[in-house]
Amino acid sequence: MKATAKAHPNIALIKYWGKRDQKFNLPAVGSISITLQEMATVSTVEFQPDLKDDILILNGTKAKQIESKRVSNFLDLIRAEASFDFRAKVNSENNFPTGAGLASSASAFASLAVAGSRAAGLALSKSKLSELARRGSGSAARSIWGGFVEMKIGERSDGSDAVALQLADENYWDVGVVVAITSEKYKNIGSTKAMNDTARTSPFYGQWVFSSQKDLEEMRSAIFSRNFHKVGELSEFSCLKMHAVTLSARPGIIYWNKVTIECIECIRQLRKNNTAVYFTIDAGPQVKALCLSKDKNLVKRTLQKIKGVKNVIINSPGSGAEILNE
């Protein structure tokens, strides 16, 4: 009744922002991501018949109640599927800052889906694992797979077709994702609340949803033809469009700090000087630079020089979530 799994976060090139259903956590738009190899979450789940409550240890310390509750709710789905009611001890560790816009919820819930279902004795397919991970966090559905991944919006009301699938594996393309960390603090508004507030109040939300279909089609074809400039251009477009719709919520939600802007300017300057590099930013102030693998050290050195950049992590395309030991 114990299993350990490892999962990597992913960075969306075409963003997920908005839900069509809260209960099953169904996305209002599809999304496309790259899984990031050098960043990871390792989670162990152990169901114990004599435990009264679930216990969550996050990065070595007892988690806050809000985080424990979210994990307990997630474990309830596994318990229901396995038809038992044992509580669990969960230990989860990230090798990167948690809750700071670095997709820690993606790697956390992907690793919990894999470890939790195995510990409960369930043998789930990758598609079922993706569906389960989505209930924990929408972006986690993508981290079940490695490489380039597409999250389908799905049509069914129970969400059984709102799952991620792999477009190309981690060896398909020698690209790098250089992550510049500009703040290690918890973000002041989580993505779930922020996207719901945006959907409710932004005058541009309908257009965001409507225009996403074309972005997905173009990104898919840019990946399949290995057109790096097109992938990069679309990534910046989807990122800025997501932040624009978020800025237009009431009250407006601002995830960036001044170092975020400096990183954007630096990346665009590198591009003017003929390095193929593009940025994307999730619900937080960190900047992810997408480049060809041969340029990743140059991009790292350049971003590192910016005052206020706390750390820079180089990633290659990562593998899917997996069991570490039984």
Shorter beta-carbon distance to ligand DP6: residue 215 or 282? 282
Q: Of these, 7, 18, 31, 118, which contacts ligand DP6 (CB under 6 A)?
A: 31
Q: Is 7 helix (H, G, I), strand (E, B) or coil?
A: strand
How far is Cα 304 from Cα 53, in angstroms, rounded to an integer? 44
Residue 155 — left, alpha, or beta (φ > 0 → left; ψ -120 to 50 → alpha)?
alpha
- As measured in angstroms, the least distance from the Cβ of 162 to ligand DP6 is 11
> Segment near ligand DP6 (CB under 6 A), from 15-23, 37-45, 84-92, 124-132?
15-23
Shorter beta-carbon distance to ligand DP6: residue 37 or 191? 191
Q: Going residue by residue from 129 to 158, which x/- string records binding to ligand DP6, judged by CB under 6 A?
A: --------xxx-------------------
Under rule CB under 6 A, which residues in 258-317 are in contact with ligand DP6? 282-283
Shorter beta-carbon distance to ligand DP6: residue 198 or 316? 198
One-letter identity of residue 12: A
Q: Is 105 a residue that touches ligand DP6 (CB under 6 A)?
A: yes
Burial of 319 (0-12, 13-18, 19+ CB in 10 A): middle
**Residues constituting the chain:** 326
- As measured in angstroms, the least distance from the Cβ of 76 to ligand DP6 is 16
- As measured in angstroms, the least distance from the Cβ of 12 to ligand DP6 is 3
Lookup: tokens for 42: 């390792």
Q: Which residue has the tokens 């990743």?
A: 296
Q: Is 192 a residue that touches ligand DP6 (CB under 6 A)?
A: yes
Shorter beta-carbon distance to ligand DP6: residue 14 or 270? 14
Other beta carbons within 10 Å of 265:
11
Residue 270 — left, alpha, or beta (φ > 0 → left; ψ -120 to 50 → alpha)?
alpha
Q: Which residue has the tokens 């257009």?
A: 207
Lookup: tokens for 146: 């490695």
Q: Of these, 8, 15, 79, 135, which contacts ligand DP6 (CB under 6 A)?
A: 15
Q: Is 183 a residue that touches ligand DP6 (CB under 6 A)?
A: no
Shorter beta-carbon distance to ligand DP6: residue 215 or 262? 215
45 phi and psi, to 5 degrees?
-120, 130
Q: Is 202 a residue that touches ligand DP6 (CB under 6 A)?
A: no
Q: Among all residues, whose Cβ is closest to ligand DP6? A: 138
Burial of 85 (0-12, 13-18, 19+ CB in 10 A): exposed
- Which string of DSSP letters, residue by residue, matches 25-71? TEESS-EEEEEBTT--EEEEEEEETT-SS-EEEETTEEPPHHHHHHH
Shorter beta-carbon distance to ligand DP6: residue 79 or 288? 288
Bond prior to 27 in cis (omega within 30° of 0):
no
Q: Which residue has the tokens 């937080």?
A: 284
Shorter beta-carbon distance to ligand DP6: residue 33 or 302? 33
Shorter beta-carbon distance to ligand DP6: residue 98 or 105? 105
Shorter beta-carbon distance to ligand DP6: residue 87 or 288? 288
How far is Cα 55 from Cα 276, in angstroms, rounded to an integer? 46
Q: Of these, 4, 25, 183, 235, which contacts ligand DP6 (CB under 6 A)?
A: 25
> Segment near ligand DP6 (CB under 6 A), from 11-19, 53-61, 116-124, 203-211?
11-19
Q: Is 235 a residue that touches ligand DP6 (CB under 6 A)?
A: no
Residues that bind ligand DP6 (CB under 6 A): 12, 15-17, 25, 31, 105, 137-139, 191-192, 282-283
